Amino acid sequence: MKNYHLWNPCTDVEDIAEMVDIGPICIAGGKGVYVYNRQGKRYLNAGGSLWNVAVGHGRQELCDAASEQMQKLAYASCHEQTNDPAMKLAEKLCSMSGNYYDMAYFASNGADAVETAIKTSRQYFRQHSDKTFHDKYKIISFEGCYHGASYGAISTSTDPVDEEMYGPLLDGFLKVKPPFAYHGAYGTTEQTECEKRCLEAVRKLISDENSNTIAAFIAEPVMGCAGVIPFSDEFFVSLIRLLHENHILFIADEVTTGFGRTGRMFVSEAWEERPDMMCLSKGLISGYLPLSAMLATEKVFRNFRGKGKRLEHGYTASGHPVCCAVALKNIEIIEQEELCRNSAEVGEYLFNKLSELKSIRPAIGDLRGRGLMIGIELVDPDDKTPLKADDTFKIMMDTAMLGVLMYYDKNILGLFPPLILTKEQADEIVSVLEKTLDISKSGLRKRRMRMMKILSERMLRQKEGK
């Protein structure tokens, strides 16, 4: 395409530029769980865009909230100032946690919230009344985790591209293998045993590294990018207990799982032993504007009270009044329309339907998830080895051509639809998957050929200006 100047993130820009008018590449509109391309073709947004459109597209209430707030006050800083929507949203988030959290810090993206939590944990110990804690700076995370694209966040993950392209990454980041039993982590495929062994590995790491050097452990309650991997509540309770015994803070990254995605408002709200900080973003504002939050308990904030102890970390958009006003309305919709309950109910329905599909589609190796956060791990039907990323990509393209958009990475298809999804729409997703997952090896080859033919013909037509 001529005059294409958009540098897309994580994208081969040349490909996109060639395919702007093909299928769902350029999204021009959205309503409810559906999005539309420039030609008006409808797609069920089962990937929820970037997993974030909790209340669905085209909500007039959210447009009105933004417009009203913009007319009243488009912007005010939260640096040594404050504004009503930011104060109201902070109060609302703390009250949603049953006032377990006491303070809310606002930023724009999930990575900002993570960065804020990491810096907070280091400063917390640096100005602790107990001087033996002043050298606590290391951060533990799970191998394969994803906490965002900033340097602090990529230093928590183990993506070789990050090290290769942007290295050296930051010092002081420790990794531990997550208890992912399906892939036989810690030498077992039994989930409870796997979690037990993981706890032992964390205990050993803490002792090897010396707990007086470790500030925090950050984890996603359900690992998203790693392939939608949930762990038991009991595991997290034991993990946090272990950390607290060693004076290590726990940061729950609920950027993806928060606001009903898993059928609970927050996964960690049900844990007997709770996190010290929680990062939120996606469902907080359903993608209508950029916003994230980092919530901290009074125990954490206590170390920031008093002269010279403030958090020296801020963004121009921290506590942006328009974003906060829209988030308040978004949360009101989630509560009034009982979207957590819907996520749990329709999520269970969808999961059960997918389980039935698994029995007739051997390409489904494993199904995982909670609520409307579901991962479908694809395997070669013959030898059960992970399906190649290329083949998974082709399946994802096929589902798109049949009108359902899904997230994909390596051999995983991910479902993170808007939380307003109905059972009928869940059936639509399953029926498209039933068609596209019929993959004997020759089926795959035929599909690939067909896709390549269609794409190359369209690209040719586009180039010829037809």
Ligand X SMILES: Cc1ncc(COP(=O)(O)O)c(C=O)c1O
Residue 253 engages ligand X in binding (rule: CB under 6 A): yes
Q: Name which of 49, 48, 24, 50 is nearest 38 in CA terms.
A: 24
Closest separation in Å from C-beta 291 to ligand X: 9
Residue 147 engages ligand X in binding (rule: CB under 6 A): yes
Q: Give the pair of three-digit tokens for residue 9.
A: 């993130």
Helix (H) or strand (E) holding 16: helix 13-18
Sign, CA dihedral 160-161-167-172, equals: negative
Q: Give the pair of three-digit tokens for residue 57.
A: 């597209």
Among 30, 110, 283, 417, indicate the residue that binds ligand X (CB under 6 A). Answer: 110
Contacts of ligand X in 255-284 (CB under 6 A): 255-256, 281
Q: Give the number of other Cβ atoms within 10 Å of residue 88's Cβ.
A: 15
Closest separation in Å from C-beta 168 to ligand X: 22
Q: Give the pair of three-digit tokens for residue 246.
A: 């060693």
| DSSP-derived secondary structure for 334-369 | HHHTTHHHHHHHHHHHHHHHHHHHHHH-TTEEEEEE
Closest separation in Å from C-beta 198 to ligand X: 19
Q: Name which of 263, 262, 259 is nearest 293 in CA terms.
A: 259
Q: In terms of CB distance, is 153 or 214 closer to ligand X?
A: 153
For 108-147, strand residue ranges (E) read 138-142
Burial class (CB in 10 A: 0-12, 13-18, 19+), 433: buried
Torsion of the alpha carbons at 243, 245, 246 and 252, rounded to the nearest 10: 20
Among the residue ranges 157-165, 249-257, 394-402, 431-439, the one whose residues contact ligand X (CB under 6 A): 249-257
Q: List beta partners, residue 408.
A: 413
Place of tokens 């393209």: 397
Closest separation in Å from C-beta 257 to ligand X: 8
Among 37, 45, 69, 109, indicate the residue that binds ligand X (CB under 6 A). Answer: 109
Contacts of ligand X in 148-187 (CB under 6 A): 148
Q: Give the pair of three-digit tokens for residue 345.
A: 């109910």
Q: In terms of CB distance, is 34 or 142 closer to ligand X?
A: 142
Q: In terms of CB distance, is 220 or 391 closer to ligand X?
A: 220
Among the residue ranges 55-63, 145-153, 367-375, 451-459, the one whose residues contact ligand X (CB under 6 A): 145-153
Closest separation in Å from C-beta 253 to ligand X: 5
Among the residue ranges 95-103, 108-116, 298-306, 400-408, the one whose residues contact ligand X (CB under 6 A): 108-116
Among the residue ranges 110-118, 189-197, 325-333, 415-423, the one whose residues contact ligand X (CB under 6 A): 110-118
Count of residues binding ligand X (CB under 6 A)?
14
| DSSP-derived secondary structure for 190-216 | -HHHHHHHHHHHHHHHHHHH-GGGEEE
Among 114, 117, 176, 239, indicate the residue that binds ligand X (CB under 6 A). Answer: 114
Q: Which residue is nearest to ligand X (CB)?
A: 110
Cis check for the bond before 168: say yes or no (omega within 30 of 0).
yes
Contacts of ligand X in 218-237 (CB under 6 A): 220, 224-225
Residue 370 engages ligand X in binding (rule: CB under 6 A): no
Among the residue ranges 141-149, 178-186, 265-273, 342-350, the one whose residues contact ligand X (CB under 6 A): 141-149
Distance CA 441, CA 436 (A): 13
Distance CA 377, CA 364 (A): 6
Residue 380 engages ligand X in binding (rule: CB under 6 A): no
Closest separation in Å from C-beta 148 to ligand X: 3
Among 146, 180, 236, 416, indicate the residue that binds ligand X (CB under 6 A). Answer: 146
Place of tokens 């690209």: 459
Residue 37 engages ligand X in binding (rule: CB under 6 A): no
Contact positions vs ligand X (CB under 6 A): 109-111, 114, 146-148, 220, 224-225, 253, 255-256, 281
